[in-house]
Amino acid sequence: MGFIASVKRRAANFYYPLKIKRRAMVCGKKIYCGSKSFVTSKTQLGNNVNFNGMAMSGNGVIKIGDNFHSGPGCQIISSFHNYNGKKIPYDETWIDKDVIIEDNVWLGNNVIILGGVTIGEGAIIQAGSVVCKDIPPLAIAGGHPATPFKYRDKEHYENLKKEKKFK
């Protein structure tokens, strides 16, 4: 890694977590940002949250649990144009929907999460997926829309959790 890249990384590791802590409604301990990341004023963050390029937008509440990790280019969108309003294709009103991401969730690169969904504890979302419906706990999901195609080993997961082996 070159000198300039190293300076940029150190700056991002300092600046973006500070910005997030000032903007978020609730912010737990240990926030890491590997690159540009943004939250809304209605964002609630747990402990040990790791962003590597996250953009959040909208007026819905966004709750993220403990030990969260995201790859670069991820988005959470919690407000939508009202296509059933008084104009076509949409009017000036917005529809706000909350997003809940439970503990120990990992998002791959370029995942988009739309409002109105819950991602269950321990779930993994495959890179490039669009999450527009609930994902159950321990599911490994992917696609457009993201659907579970596999599940984590529950016994192994629970043992690691019990031993507090979090990254």
Q: Which of 69, 81, 144, 156 is catalytic?
A: 81
Catalytic, 144? Answer: no
> Edge-to-edge strands of the sheet including 74-77?
54-57, 74-77, 112-114, 130-131
Token reading at 9 = 């990384």
Contact, 40 vs 62, CB < 8 A?
yes
- In angstroms, the CA 77 to CA 81 distance is 11
Residues composing the chain: 167
- In one-letter notation, the amino acid at residue 25 is M
Name the residues annotated as catalytic: 81
